């Protein structure tokens, strides 16, 4: 059977519990928003295929638990990440302050070449805003990251954020794309197996995502 993608790209979402990582991912892959907060246990993932400049990129996005008690588990996933989406909640000053701690963990545990973006989520909650757009932008700049404000609720900048993170990974690997294609074949085989075993997101999502 013909391959449905050219490259597999692995992104990892990091940020405090409750900032909206799972909601962002669901919005991106399933176009859904569920206002309830069920904390992620450990890690979960979803996949979506993007067309970036004619390259079919199968993006595997790992959604990690923000809760401290899962950190030992989640850190094991940093090593294989190619892109990191740091997320804070614009209505939570503490989640913004903690980005420095998430970034320092990534420095310690992720590959040197990992690409990063910063996302301030819940931009629809203007009345509860505790972190200005300028603060977010400055922090991102200080870490050399691109910055977005998003809303999983309204869908604002959700696709843009994940797509940009994927583009950055592709750019970073452009020179050794042949090597990437080879090694990512293994990833896809493994991912397909895991997806089949897990039945997608907690068994609720269809196996083939809307890509």
Ligand X SMILES: Nc1nc2c(ncn2[C@@H]2O[C@H](COP(=O)(O)OP(=O)(O)OP(=O)(O)O)[C@@H](O)[C@H]2O)c(=O)[nH]1
Residue 167 to residue 159: CA distance in whole angstroms: 12
CB of 171 to ligand X, least distance (A): 27
Assess contact for 92 and 16: CB atoms under 8 A. Answer: yes
CB of 65 to ligand X, least distance (A): 5
The contact set with ligand X (CB under 6 A) reads 15, 17-23, 35-37, 39-40, 65-67, 121-122, 124-125, 151-153
CB of 77 to ligand X, least distance (A): 14
Q: 94 φ, ψ to 5°?
A: -65, -35
Q: Which is nearer to ligand X, 116 or 122 (CB)?
A: 122
- Pick from 25, 23, 46: nearest CA to 36: 23
- For residue 45, the SS3 value is strand
Q: Which is nearer to ligand X, 22 or 115 (CB)?
A: 22
Q: Which is nearer to ligand X, 139 or 152 (CB)?
A: 152
CB of 67 to ligand X, least distance (A): 6
Q: What are the start-end ranges of the H helices in the chain?
A: 21-30, 71-75, 93-97, 99-109, 133-142, 158-172, 177-198
Q: Which is nearer to ligand X, 35 or 203 (CB)?
A: 35
């Amino acid at each position: 059977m013909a391959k449905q993608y050219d490259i597999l790209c692995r992104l990892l979402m990091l940020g405090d519990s409750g900032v909206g990582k799972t909601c962002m991912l669901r919005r991106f892959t399933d176009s859904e928003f569920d206002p309830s907060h069920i904390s992620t246990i450990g890690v979960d993932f979803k996949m979506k295929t993007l067309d970036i400049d004619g390259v079919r990129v199968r993006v595997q996005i790992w959604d990690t638990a923000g809760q401290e008690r899962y950190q030992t588990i989640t850190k094991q996933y940093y090593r294989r990440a190619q892109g990191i989406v740091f997320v804070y909640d614009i209505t939570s000053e503490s989640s913004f302050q903690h980005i420095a701690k998430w970034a320092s963990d990534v420095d310690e545990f992720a590959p040197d070449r990992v690409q990063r973006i910063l996302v301030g989520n819940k931009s629809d909650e203007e009345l509860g805003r505790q972190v200005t757009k300028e603060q977010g932008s400055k922090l991102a700049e200080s870490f050399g990251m691109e910055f977005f404000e998003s809303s999983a609720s309204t869908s604002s900048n959700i696709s843009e954020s994940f797509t940009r993170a994927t583009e950055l990974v592709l750019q970073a690997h452009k020179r050794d794309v042949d090597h990437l294609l080879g090694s990512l074949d293994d990833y896809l085989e493994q991912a397909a197996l895991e997806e089949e075993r897990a039945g997608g997101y907690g068994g609720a999502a269809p196996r083939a995502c809307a890509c």
